[in-house]
Amino acid sequence: MKTYNYVLTEDSITNTIDILYLSSKTDVLIQVFCGVDGEALKKTMHELHLLLPNAVCIGTTTDGEIQEHHVSTKKTVVSISVFEKTSIKSTFVNTGNSFQNGVSLAHNLLEDNTKLIITFSDGTSTNGEEFLKGIESVDNKVMVAGGMAGDNGNFVQTFIAQGNNILQKGAVGISLNSDELTVQNNYSFNWSPIGLEHKIDKVEANRVYSIDGTTPIDFYAKYLGEDVANALPATGIEFPLIIEKNGMKVARAVLAKHPDGSLCFAGNLNVGDSVRLGFGNAEMIIDQSNDSLKKFYESSVETFFLYSCMARRRYIPELINVEVEPFASIAPTAGFFTYAEFFHHKNRNELLNQTLTAIALSESKKHNIFHYNKTIKLSQEFSEYATTVKALTHLIQQSSQDLEEQAKRLDEQKQFSQKLLAQHKLFMRHTIHETITPLSVIMNNIELYELEHGKNNYLSNIEAAMKNVFNIYDDLSYLVKKNQREYPKHTIDLVDFVRNRIEFFEQLATQANLHFEFLPKVSSATLGFNETKLQRIIDNNLTNAIKYTKENAGIRVSIEKKSEGYLLQILSASIHIQNPEKIFEAYYREKSNAEGFGLGLSLVKQICEEQNVTIEVSSNEKTTSFSYLFKGEK
């Protein structure tokens, strides 16, 4: 095979290309890489079709063109390959569905001896990943190459073509069918992830609505600045999201933005995907410029086709020549700069961004052993600039690595803390479970003893203390279980309920030389409430009143009807509360030697907030009152 690459000028095509020679050939592939516009592509395709009807011709608009050692923009490059032992088929598809386009294209092109499919899709509406999956669903063995069309970074309208068929949407493609043709591929990435990992929260195929709880546009603005966010999607191609798929680091570049703040990317993403922002690693691009060629050493190569991401050309323009030079020094080389690249890897078709993909073709069995050792000489001005960029890149990489290590340590500490917390909860659950049995045994035996032998001062003191312990147990039990069980509401008479709880704690109050005064102003007060939750409110207030009321005083409990609901008030001559705003905080106690854990009122506040109960605390040197307004459903 032989390949001839041309840059079209204002001269006639017949003055540039040897039409007479090519007309005599039967298997001719023409690729047109047009950086001008859709009309120029249409005109070129039409002329070639008239002049070389024997040739198979496909074309695309670009974000730059490759012709031998040269990289251009807004030019038209024509690459003509003449095969001796290979047949060519071509097709175009535009079903409106990216996956189905891939299926149809594969069915139209594949033969038993197909070695390669080269395909170009439009660059603004096709879901490239779905398109490649469609091809793969028909045959996952055949190699696929090519990319998504460009329009010089405008992201408005791209064009693709097959013969005289000019398409704004869909895909075109050719297949190379041969028993003799050898095809190899390789790619260079050199884009590095930076910063912390972020999670995709909401996505539909390739349209992302939320990253870490924020819109993708706000995400880009936060990490890359408002200027980059405002210039999306053009700037997004240089700063893609990077994920790992099938053992490869894969970039997902921005293709389109939407008024709702969402962004469309070149390929699919999934909810839960871990992504990081990427940047062009100039240090790697410069130092590893020959690496993508090494795979082809000791191989027969008669032609290279390069399909490279637009970001590589735009990032540091002079560097792209560093990448193209090694290929063009070995064999005829042509290609274009894409909005996404198609690559075949381990029986999978991958949609790539930020890469240079290379296809090496040969019909010759002779192995040409070659090694490219030429050192690319940069201009002094650029060499100094490149040194600066490499240093800054190294700084970014090292800072990112330090951040990763710090994040890893924090994650390890977090996991250790979560493990401790889980063990603590388990210990509490088992402790509470094991505590209820001996408490019940003690209380039951006290009651049995009193039934048989009558009241006993010592046992009465034990019983009063046990009721206090029961209250602490109930608080802890509720704390442990509240997130693991349901607490349904029932119809409860607040008057009867409070009276029963006062009777339960009567002996505890008597032991403290106190007495309850229950003064309801209504005969009944019906609520929809859960008994366990209501008991936590009542019991904590009654036991607190017993703890803090001055000796020989009364604890007055009242219930009255208000327009908003029922008001429960507990008032006593207790010590002055110095910090009323803090008493509902967990573990807060105004007196360090006070009994309990300081959890009771914190639980009360949580329950009241859940159940739409209003709390009011009033305290002075003489009295303290806690008032609870039960208003019903929120």
DSSP assignments along 46-87, one per residue:
HHHHHH-TTSEEEEEE-S-EEETTEEESS-EEEEEEEESS-E
Nearest to 117, CA basis, from 95, 134, 94, 98: 134
Domain boundary among 362, 377, 392: 377
Question: Mean of the pLDDT values across residues 435-445?
Answer: 67
**Residue 499 domain boundaries:** 486-630
Question: Mean of the pLDDT values across residues 125-129?
Answer: 91
Residue 283 clears pLDDT 90, i.e. is over it: no
**Distance (Å, rounded) from C-alpha 84 to C-alpha 25?**
9
Q: Is residue 439 part of a domain?
A: no
Q: Is residue 478 part of a domain?
A: no
Q: What is the pLDDT of residues 293-311, one digit of tens each?
A: 777 766 789 999 999 998 8
Q: What is the pLDDT of residues 143-153, one digit of tens each?
A: 999 999 999 98
- CB contact set of 461 (below 8 Å; sequence gap of 6+): 511
Q: What is the pLDDT of residues 339-388, one digit of tens each?
A: 999 999 989 999 998 889 999 999 987 766 555 555 555 556 555 655 66
**Is 294 found in the same domain as 326?**
yes
**Is 256 found in the same domain as 239?**
yes
**Distance (Å, rounded) from C-alpha 233 to C-alpha 238?**
10
pLDDT score at 450:
73
Domain boundary among 263, 280, 297: 280
Domain boundary among 265, 280, 295: 280
- End-to-end distance of the chain based on CA atoms, in angstroms? 80
279 residue type, one letter: F
Confidence band for 559, pLDDT divided at 50, 70 and 90: very high
**Is 617 found in the same domain as 520?**
yes
DSSP line for 251-301? EE-EEEE-TTS-EEESS---TT-EEEEEEE-HHHHHHTTTHHHHTTTTS--
Q: Is residue 116 part of a domain?
A: yes
**Is 209 found in the same domain as 89?**
no
**Distance (Å, rounded) from C-alpha 404 to C-alpha 83?**
51
pLDDT score at 529:
93
Give the DSSP letter of residue 377.
Answer: P
Confidence band for 285, pLDDT divided at 50, 70 and 90: low
**Is 336 found in the same domain as 212?**
no
Look at 32-41, 216-225, 582-591, 598-607 and tell me which has the smallest mean pLDDT.
582-591
Between 411 and 19, the higher pLDDT residue: 19
Q: Is residue 196 part of a domain?
A: yes
Q: Is residue 455 part of a domain?
A: no
**Distance (Å, rounded) from C-alpha 392 to C-alpha 389?**
5
Kindly report the three-state secondary structure assignment for every residue of 162-174. ECCEEECCCEEEE
> Structurally, how many domains does the chain consist of?
3
Tokens of 330: 């070995």
Confidence band for 437, pLDDT divided at 50, 70 and 90: low
**Distance (Å, rounded) from C-alpha 494 to C-alpha 362?**
91
Give the DSSP letter of residue 633.
Answer: -
Q: What is the pLDDT of residues 200-233, one digit of tens each?
A: 999 998 899 999 999 999 999 998 899 988 888 8
pLDDT score at 448:
76
Between 338 and 316, the higher pLDDT residue: 338
CATH code where residue 495 lies: 3.30.565.10
Instruction: Give the number of other Cβ atoms within 10 Å of residue 612's Cβ.
Output: 13
pLDDT score at 103:
97
Between 166 and 463, the higher pLDDT residue: 166
Tokens of 142: 């055949």
Q: What is the pLDDT of residues 56-99, one digit of tens each?
A: 999 999 999 999 999 999 999 999 999 999 999 999 999 989 99
Nearest to 144, CA basis, from 354, 2, 345: 345
Confidence (pTM): 0.62
**Is 97 found in the same domain as 232?**
no
| Per-residue b or e along 550-588, where b marks 16 or more CB atoms closer than 10 Å to that residue's CB | eeebebbbbbeeeeebbbbbbbbbbeebeeeeebbeeee
**Is 495 found in the same domain as 583?**
yes
Nearest to 467, CA basis, from 547, 530, 534: 547
DSSP line for 104-160? HHHHHH--TTEEEEEEEE-SSS--HHHHHHHHHHH-SSSEEEEEE---TT--S---E
Q: Is residue 404 part of a domain?
A: no
Q: What is the pLDDT of residues 13-44, one digit of tens each?
A: 988 999 999 999 999 999 999 999 999 999 99
pLDDT score at 481:
63
Q: Is residue 577 part of a domain?
A: yes
Nearest to 625, CA basis, from 615, 634, 613, 633: 615
Look at 79-93, 128-142, 277-291 and tell me which has the smallest mean pLDDT.
277-291
Q: Is residue 440 part of a domain?
A: no
**Is 261 found in the same domain as 320?**
no
Identify the H or E element spanning 387.
helix 380-453
pLDDT score at 11:
79
Angle ∠(575,576,582) on CA atoms, nearest 5: 115
**Is 144 found in the same domain as 76?**
yes
**Is 196 found in the same domain as 183?**
no
Between 354 and 4, the higher pLDDT residue: 4
Tokens of 202: 């909401």
pLDDT score at 586:
73
**Distance (Å, rounded) from C-alpha 336 to C-alpha 147?**
9
**Distance (Å, rounded) from C-alpha 330 to C-alpha 599?**
78
**Is 317 found in the same domain as 171?**
yes
Mean pLDDT across the chain: 86
Question: Can you say how many angstroms the Cα of residue 468 is from the centroid of all Cα atoms in its chain?
Answer: 51
**Is 178 found in the same domain as 62?**
yes
Confidence band for 436, pLDDT divided at 50, 70 and 90: low
Angle ∠(254,316,349) on CA atoms, nearest 5: 45
Residue 424's Cβ-count burial label (10 Å; 0-12, 13-18, 19+) is: exposed
Question: Mean of the pLDDT values across residues 519-536?
Answer: 92
What share of the chain in percent tops pLDDT 90? 50
